[in-house]
Structure 1
Amino acid sequence: MTNGEYNNCYMYDVNYTEILAQGKVMADPQWPRVKCRHGWSYNFTEIPYATVATEQNWVCDDAALPTYAQSIFFLGAIVGGLLFGWVADRFGRIPALIGTNMMGLLAGVGTAFVSNFWEFAIMRFFVGFAFDNCFTMMYILVLEYVGPKYRTFVANMSIAIFFTGAACLLPWIAYFLADWKLLAIVTSAPLLLVIFTPFVVPESARWLVSQGKVEKAVGILKKLEKGNGRQVPPQTYQIFTDSCKRMQEQEAQNGKYSVLDLFKSPRLRRTTLLLIVIWMAISLVFDGHVRNVGSLGLDIFFTFTLACFTELPADTLLTVILDRFGRRWLACSSMVLSGVFSLLATVVPVGIYSAALAIMGRFFVNISYNIGLQWAAEVLPTVVRAQAVAFIHIMGYVASIIAPFVVYLANISQALPLIILGILGIIGGLLALLLPETLNHVLPQTLSDGEEFGRGQSIWDFPCLAKQVDGDEDEKRNADVEEVRSQAFVRGSQTGASLNASTGGELRSSILRRSTKSRNSTKL
């Protein structure tokens, strides 16, 4: 006992029989101390079952081990993102989809049989390989078959409905199973269904075209035509084939560019660095809110469910307003509001008030996450777009490695994590004002376009208040934008926002990853 409080990690190194024989009944703080020798008893009031941390006594000097495991998980996410992105580009979406789900299945089930920290960390590393990729590969495949008119809707609402439903259900599966090993098996086992994918889902026709397999792509399209009960004129397929050949020629010309080219001119370098910093801030704030639900003073299962439910209204709202109000001010306002609500949560009593404000912070960072995913793909020039967005999203994973350590600061002060998340949210939101608006602008194609893109725009420009151009100019501009969108390579991850990339970026088809994952990685 120190200063009237019991120490959970140390005991006095004395002979208690002799001490009692001497008539002493009060401990002397000057007695020598040693680490506890007889184990620990745990309070299972909040989480009514044993976890890997309690079973293996990751407390006291080992209390940071779960935090290290989560960071190792995100290291796996970085490696897995690069690996399965390459597999998807080289061998196709279906092989990548099967590979990432099988990796998640094997490592997830293997987690239930670990006996020490390093075995657990290795399993988490390989589960990280499947992080996001286990569902976004299918997500990409679907979006590559969806026309431009419906992509924003499909990208946002599929996540809003299916991710939200599963995420809200997850804590209650954990609660009723009441066994972390069984939870690892039950939540991993459904990934086995991926083996049926080749029998029910065709390979991406867009990917086949990018590999020069035009005839095979046409064969798949004809099967879809028959399945949909539609009839496409033969000349349409001929036009499609000719168009594919032209796109391949364009890709051959663009193949000489890399991410490094973004840093060779001043304005494009500034834009790229801003995108990296803003996306890292968004990723860290989002993942921090996901992990901080246990420090809000309410039932963790209920709070986790409620926080995940914010994804539904956030995605729904964004689907309605994104193309009306633009990217810049929506990104700024949502990030700043996330930061403000996070800071307000630290000045009210812990419990329902602080939890409500923190959940509002989570709601607004959901919005900024989805905006950031799409915005990066629109700002960057076509010739390096896919590579650049992939790089920016990997930097988001790097930021997510820090998130568990930010949440761990709650052991020092319960308010510290929310203070850090709040400050980062406000800074990230204000930095977003320095990026160019993309709504109603033709996306940059070349590096020189990227260097000039946004020049002359003012921070105070609001797309919804812009003066209407004359009919001919407006029609021409919309036609140009629609042409770019019609060639878009769309990828959404966990956030689900559509990524409007043009043909050159699509044919390179590097996988555009979402950080975050963090969404499913929280261990209950």
Structure 2
Amino acid sequence: MKFDDILNDVGEFGRYQRRLYIIVVILKFTISWSPMISVFINAPVDHWCKSPEWNPGCEQYGLSEEACALAQKEGSIPSNYTSDGELEYAQCEKYNVSGVGFWPGIDPANYSSGTTPCDSGWVYDDSQYKTSTVTDFDLVCGNDDLTQVSQSIFYGGYLAGSIISGILSDIIGRWWTLILSNAVAVISGVAIAFSPNWWFFATMRFFMGFSNIAFNIILFVIGTEFIGPSKRYLVMLATIGYAVGYMVLALCAYFIRSWRTLQLVMTAPLLAIFILFRWLPESARWLISVGKYDKAEKVIRKVAEVNNAKLPSPLFTTEFKEEQDRILKAHRPTALDLFRTPRMRLRTISLICIWMVNSMVYNGLSLNSSNLGTNDYLAFAISAGVEIPAFIMDVFIIEYFGRKPSLIFCMLLGGVACVSTAFITPGVVLTTVAMIGKFGITGSFTIMYLYTVELYPTNIRGVAIGNCSMFARIASIVAPLILLLSKYWAPLPLVIYGSMAVIAALSALALPETRGKKLPETLEEGEKFNIEERA
């Protein structure tokens, strides 16, 4: 008796699973906020040196406060016209006009003794962002790279979370790993909003990244493990919650222009999530895999009760328990089992390649989002919105064509589009092609989550998806470094991204098809998965 046989008896997607599905969608709604909020809280802001304290100043000339500030700016900050005819002020230096009196129309070039660095701080343009980490921590003029460093640290948390969460979920269970991850997210999220300096901010972002990826990975695993083989594809549709949350973040950021307030507002819903855990069960598959049969039977009978289904008593026979205990005692699964046997090793290497390339291409195409327009909020929302039809498409193509051909198609679409953008001039065509690429790579990203879950046995499933996610986060960190190659040939980075997507798509040919198949429960079943059908 396998767990998928039990699901056939109690219902593959009955009332109980539909209720669980709704919870997963709601929880997915918040996952996009942690990685994407950096677009707004780390937003670059125009700045210039603080003007000297002229006494008497421009007030004596009857200028308004705004006109006075502009007059002092013009009287102390070097400026010139760009090739587009726009007036541009220096951001990191000012004229040395100490001892020079102010009057309207002062030409500091005639009275200063050269320029000097901003020794009195900066003035920030608050027309779009009232505050950001840039304004609060003075991340300008030599410190501006720290905004990107903090994002790399965030992805470092992703890397750590990918490794630890998979191991933790296979040891203490899916449910407790989710609880701990959300608790870390709440604590670090609030702490970020009250960061006294950049170092504290960056450290808390690390923990936010850690908790976010852990929550995302395990939520997908526990959602998948309760749905039967013929309905398992529906878990992918729950990812729409991610995209909708993505767009909601743009809406919130549009109305909340102070980064600390925005951080608190986007953290607050995480507290409410704890209420939903009351109806979120532990994975019965995992309970069986670790020999907790009484608890597993309690969960399964609850599923049967809600779905109005009947189960035999006892559910787990003595022979079944003895067989499971024998397997458990014979070998306790570890991450090494991902590479121990020939077929499992081949699948793991192929999936690592696919996960890494998907991450690289996704980030590469995201760099073209500025081509959508100058409005940060609209561009952000469009970039999120294009993912929804990709999720919907996935649900149909993986059931009609299968997991493997669908994954290959989506990766090829994203890869070809990525290469194409390198040879298209900026404009509507480039934006359209970039969004087609985003559409394709989003589709493959979602498919590979489900595909990975289906390919590995229950007792190492958390470790497997955590391992693949770990390599994907390494790719996220490395991807920007590839952009440095543009100094040799401008299109080279995108050509590399696209070429790697094509190669990764071909590597998927080594994977077996999983559509409609029962999930493997043991390492032996995982190694033999689909072999009988091929023979």
Q: Verify same fold: TM over 0.5.
A: yes
1:250 is aligned to 327
Residues in 2 aligned to 1:139 and 1:388: alpha-carbon distance in whole angstroms? 13
Displacement after TM superposition at 1:324 (Å): 4.1
- Secondary structure at the aligned position of 2:139 is classed as coil
Displacement after TM superposition at 1:326 (Å): 4.8
- Secondary structure at the aligned position of 2:233 is classed as helix
Aligned partner letter, 2:92: Y
Aligned residues: 440
1:176-191 aligned at under 5 Å gives the runs: 176-191=255-270
Larger radius of gyration: 2
Displacement after TM superposition at 1:394 (Å): 0.7
Aligned partner letter, 2:354: I
- Secondary structure at the aligned position of 1:221 is classed as helix
Displacement after TM superposition at 1:18 (Å): 7.3
Displacement after TM superposition at 1:200 (Å): 2.3
1:484-499 aligned at under 5 Å gives the runs: 485-486=517-518, 488=519
Displacement after TM superposition at 1:223 (Å): 2.6
1:165-314 aligned at under 5 Å gives the runs: 165-234=244-313, 237-239=315-317, 242-255=319-332, 258-259=335-336, 262=339, 272-290=348-366, 293-294=369-370, 296-314=372-390
Residues in 2 aligned to 1:51 and 1:26: alpha-carbon distance in whole angstroms? 31
Residues in 1 aligned to 2:144 and 2:482: alpha-carbon distance in whole angstroms? 14
Aligned partner letter, 1:173: C
Aligned partner letter, 1:372: M
| Match status 1:148 vs 2:225 | no
Residues in 2 aligned to 1:225 and 1:506: alpha-carbon distance in whole angstroms? 29
| Match status 1:114 vs 2:195 | yes
Contact 2:188 2:205 in 1 (8 A): yes
Contact 1:328 1:432 in 2 (8 A): no
| CA deviation map 1:338-392 (0-9, x unaligned) | 2443344455554544333322221111122233334556677999776454323
Aligned partner letter, 2:90: N
Contact 1:283 1:399 in 2 (8 A): yes
Residues in 2 aligned to 1:52 and 1:302: alpha-carbon distance in whole angstroms? 22
Contact 1:379 1:436 in 2 (8 A): no
2:496 is aligned to 423
1:50 is aligned to 131
| Match status 1:158 vs 2:244 | no
The percentage of counterpart residues that share the same residue type is 27
User: Which of 436, 444, 465 does residue 368 from structure 1 map onto?
Assistant: 444
Residues in 1 aligned to 2:100 and 2:353: alpha-carbon distance in whole angstroms? 62
Residues in 1 aligned to 2:376 and 2:348: alpha-carbon distance in whole angstroms? 38
- Secondary structure at the aligned position of 1:61 is classed as coil
Contact 1:331 1:429 in 2 (8 A): no
When residues 392 and 261 of structure 1 are mapped into structure 2, their CA distance, relative to the original with a 3 A threshold, is closer
Displacement after TM superposition at 1:157 (Å): 0.7
Structure 2 portions without partners, runs of 5+:
1-77, 83-87, 527-535
Residues in 1 aligned to 2:453 and 2:283: alpha-carbon distance in whole angstroms? 20
Contact 2:181 2:211 in 1 (8 A): yes
Contact 2:97 2:108 in 1 (8 A): no
- Secondary structure at the aligned position of 1:60 is classed as coil
2:119 is aligned to 37
Displacement after TM superposition at 1:218 (Å): 1.0
| CA deviation map 1:228-285 (0-9, x unaligned) | 33322326x145x6435424433444547753773886x9767654543332121122
When residues 293 and 41 of structure 1 are mapped into structure 2, their CA distance, relative to the original with a 3 A threshold, is farther
When residues 349 and 44 of structure 1 are mapped into structure 2, their CA distance, relative to the original with a 3 A threshold, is farther
| Match status 1:72 vs 2:170 | no
| Match status 1:355 vs 2:431 | yes
When residues 151 and 289 of structure 1 are mapped into structure 2, their CA distance, relative to the original with a 3 A threshold, is same
Displacement after TM superposition at 1:50 (Å): 2.3
Contact 2:167 2:462 in 1 (8 A): no
User: Which of 479, 499, 506 does residue 433 from structure 1 map onto?
Assistant: 506
- Secondary structure at the aligned position of 1:503 is classed as coil
1:422-461 aligned at under 5 Å gives the runs: 422-438=495-511, 440=513
Residues in 1 aligned to 2:179 and 2:192: alpha-carbon distance in whole angstroms? 20
